[in-house]
Structure 1
Amino acid sequence: MATILIVEDEMIIALGACLILEDQGYNVLLAPDGQAGLAQALAESPSLIVTDYMMPRMDGLTMIRELRARGVTCPIVLATSVPESNITTDPGSRYDTYLSKPYGDDGLTEIVQRLLNKG
């Protein structure tokens, strides 16, 4: 069973994503911000990470940059209401796909299944 880490500061969104993914049979971990997400990702080695962009303590792109610098290669989904064209990234903060908020059950499930079945 794949483990998915949800990094999200809005608890209602985090719990909703958790329920959606648990219903699909995934083991789900939650972190309330990028700093906690970084620590949990390094400790738990999830199969996939879904992270918000704008969060307190550490934003999603900074967390991604730190994870990639530490050799974490699992797929990462950047989920945000900020249009992707407004997000400035660098090679160190690369994510695998963008998910526009608000997202529905089908949108989240489809992306997770697609990314986990790549390899």
Structure 2
Amino acid sequence: MPEPAHILVAEDEVLAAMAMEDFLQRKGYRVTLAPDGLAALERYRNDPADLVITDLRMPRMDGRALVRELRGLDAALPLLVVTGFLSIEPGQDDLTSPAWKPLEILRKPVSPQVILDTVQRLMATRPAA
């Protein structure tokens, strides 16, 4: 029996993170939670995920910095940004750039089914190991 796909969720809102973890686990995924980008990066290095879901606004390391770090480790890693805040400020990387693909952005609030559909679509972009 193949191992379930591993999803790393970087989310500082505890209830939102736990709800996402519960939903994704019920759909058959192995889920690791991280309260911020720095913890997510450490967990990724110790146990690489097949896909990362991140918020943008988090303490210690925000989602933009996490995306940049993860892209340096694995250019093909599927990324899902789920955020209530997104603005492109001068001097910041534009997450909508083709250079960041595979990456999708969903604005909060978002239904668990939309997250699941997006996760499945992004996972399909990942080359088989």
TM-score (norm 1): 0.89
Number of the residue aligned with 1:65? 68
Q: How far apart, CA to CA, are the structure 1 residues paired with 2:110 and 2:23?
A: 11
Q: Deviations over 1:37-89 (max 9, x none)?
A: 01111111100000000000000010111121233531011110114xx1342
- Aligned pair count reads 116
- 2:112 is the counterpart of 1:105: yes
Q: Deviations over 1:5-25 (max 9, x none)?
A: 000000001001111101110
Aligned residues: CA RMSD = 1.7
Q: Which runs of no fewer than 5 residues in structure 1 stay unpaired?
A: none
From 31, 35, 45, the counterpart of 1:32: 35
Number of the residue aligned with 1:89? 93
Larger Rg: 2
TM-score (norm 2): 0.82
Q: Which runs of no fewer than 5 residues in structure 2 stay unpaired?
A: none
- 2:55 is the counterpart of 1:49: no
Which structure shows the bigger proportion of residues in helix conformation?
Answer: 1
Q: Percent identity?
A: 36
